[in-house]
Structure 1
C-alpha cells in the first residue's frame, strides 16, 4: 500500500510510533525513525531491516530548533524524497492547574504543539519543493477534544494541533497535500499513568487479551491497532481525505465533528447581563456540552 513512499515518524522508538513504523515498512514504505532515545530508534530500524525493509534513524528532540529540518533532511538524504509525515512525538507532565510549573507547561507545549508546527512546516516545504503532493498526519487526543483532569497543558497542545490541521488543510490544498489529525486511544507507556487504565496496561504486558468491552465500547486497544489508520492516510487510497479528525482504537473507528454553533438566539439592541440571566436556562436547556474524557472502563 505504501510501496515507493517515504514516511517520517517522530517519536517512533516505542508505543504508537514504533508500531506505525513497523506497519509502514511492512506496507512497503521506507521509514525515517525519529526518537530522542538513540537505542530505541536503532532497535526499530534494526527490526525493520531484519524483515527486509528500509529504515534509518534520526535521533533528536522534537520541538528543538533544527530538529524538524534534520528529520526531513535525513529522509531526503537517505531515500531521495519525503511523502508523508506522522507527527507523533509527545511527552506528559500531568498536573492540576495550581500545581503546574512553567517548565513543565513549556515542555509539553514545545514537544507537542511547537514540534508539530515545526515538523509540519519542514515537511510542507519539502512537499512544495519536490511537487506531487504529500500527507501530513498529526496526532491529536481525546483530551484535546474534551479536556481531561490534570492535563491542561496536554489538552491545550492537542487542541492546538487540531486547529493547525484545519488551517493547513486550506493552505496546502493547492499543492495536493492532505492534512488530517488522528485521535488514537491505546494502552501505551503514556496511558499507563492514568489510574483507570493502569490495570489494563499491566494485563496487556502480561500477554492477556484485552476485554471486548474495552476494545469495542471504549475503543481502547494496543498501539498496533492505531497503525493501520496512519498507513491508510499516507497511501494513495486516501488522496481525497483531508481536513478530518479521525479517531481509532481497539475495534472502533470514529469521525469527530468540527466545532459549530448548536443554538442561537437574538436580543434586539444587544444582550445585557440581566437579559442573559433571564434567558439562559431556557436557551441552554438540553444543549450544554459535556467536558472530560470518560474514565469508567469497567
Structure 2
C-alpha cells in the first residue's frame, strides 16, 4: 500500500466523488479524516471505510471558515498523529443565470469552494512547514472553471480561482517540498444524473454495468472511482516531482490541461489606438471558444432509446 502510515483529510467526503477519494486513500493505507455537513452521512462514510479495513474519523462542519480548517487539521493530528495529504473537495451549487443570481447564491458558492480551499490549504501548509512534512495538496477543479458554463457564474469563478491558487502555491511551497495540484474530474454525479445527455451512462452505472465506450472514451466521462486513482497517485511519493498542474481525468481518459498562454501576438509601431483596432482587429476569426461542446449522441444512446 503506497500510502501506508500517511494521514489524509478529504473535505466534502460524505458521499459521491469525495467518498470515492477517501475510500481509495484508505485502501492505499492512509488514515482519513472525512468531512460533511450532515452528521449521519459523515459517520456512515467513516464507518464504510472502517468496515473496508481502513482507518477513518468524521468531522461534521461546513467548509469555508478558518475554524473548520483548524478543526480538520486538529482531528488528523489528535486521532492519527499527523497530517500528510489534503484533498479539498467540498462544494455546493447554486446555478442561475447572471440576472437571476443573488448575492447569497454567489457568496455561498465562493465561500465553500474558493474560501474553503484557501483556509484548509493555509492551515494544512502551516502544519507541513512547522513539522517539516513534504505534504500533498490536491484541490478539485472543474471543466466549468477551465471553459465556463451557462448559469454557473459563481461556480466558474470559484473553480478557476482554485486553479490559479494552485499555480501560486506550487511556487510558494516548492522550497518546503510540498506539492500542489488541481484535479479536473469528469464523472457521474448528482448533477450529471439529471442531464438527459448522460442518461445512458448514468443508468448503466446504476445497474452495475460498464458505461458505453462513447462516454468513457470519446467524452472521458466515467465513475467517481475512475477519478480516485489519480487522487491517490498525486498523494504518493511517486508524485513528488509533479506540482502546479491541472490534470483532468474521467472514464478511460487522462488529460494535462495547459496553463493560459498567448496564442496570437501582433505588433504595431507606436502601439494600438482605437482607430487602428476599428480599422482591422487583428484577431478577427481567431477568438478562443467558450464553454464545452459535446459531440452528438449516437442513435442507440439517445435518451428515448437508452431507457427502453
Q: TM-score range by the shorter chain?
A: over 0.9
C-alpha contact (below 8 Å) 2:121/2:137 kept by paired residues: yes
1:81 aligns with 2:82: yes
Inter-partner Cα distance in structure 2 for 1:194 and 1:64:
32
Q: Which moved more, 1:233-242 or 1:57-66?
A: 57-66
1:193 Cα deviation after fit: 4.1
Unaligned runs of 5+ in 1: none
**Distance (Å, rounded) in 1 between the aligned partners of 2:21 and 2:31:** 12
What are the residue-to-residue correspondences of 1:138-149 with 2, within 5 Å?
A: 138-149=139-150
Q: Does 1:288 align with 2:298?
A: no
SS of 2:197's partner is coil
For residue 195 of structure 1, report the CA deviation from its aligned partner: 4.4
How big is the shift at 1:198?
4.6
Within 1, Cα distance between the matches of 2:47 and 2:134? 29
Report the counterpart of residue 259 of structure 1 in structure 2: 260
User: What residue is the counterpart of 1:133 in the other structure?
Assistant: 134
User: Structure 2: which 5+ residue stretches go unaligned?
Assistant: 298-308
> Partners of 1:17 and 1:211 in 2: how far apart?
24
- The answer to whether residue 5 in structure 2 is matched with residue 4 in structure 1 is yes
User: What's the offset of the Cα at 1:297?
Assistant: 5.8
Deviations 1:230-276 (A, max 9, x none): 00000000000001000000000000000011111112222111211
CA contact (8 A) 1:12 1:35 kept: yes
Task: Determine helix, strand or coil for the equivalent of 1:196.
Answer: helix
Q: TM-score, with normalisation over the residues of structure 2?
A: 0.92
CA distance in 2, matches of 1:103, 1:201: 31
Tell me which residue corresponds to 1:231. Answer: 232
- The answer (yes or no) to whether the contact 1:226–1:249 under 8 Å persists in 2 is yes
- Change in 2 beyond 3 A, CA 1:297/1:77: farther
1:182-221 equivalences under 5 Å are 182-198=183-199, 200-221=201-222
| Shift of residue 28, structure 1, vs aligned partner | 0.5
The 5-angstrom pairing of residues 83-98 of structure 1 reads: 83-98=84-99
Instruction: Please give the root-mean-square deviation of Cα atoms over the aligned residues, in Å.
Output: 1.4
Deviations 1:187-236 (A, max 9, x none): 01132344433553344223343111101111100011110000000000
Structure 1 equivalent of residue 300 of structure 2: none
Q: Indicate the residue corresponding to 2:101 in structure 1.
A: 100
Question: How many residues align structurally?
Answer: 296
Alignment of 1:156 onto 2:162: no
Q: Kindly indicate whether the alpha-carbon contact (under 8 Å) linking 1:196 and 1:296 is maintained by their aligned counterparts in 2.
A: no
Contact conserved, 2:136 with 2:234, CA < 8 A, in 1? Answer: yes
Mapped contact 1:92–1:190 kept (Cα < 8 A): no
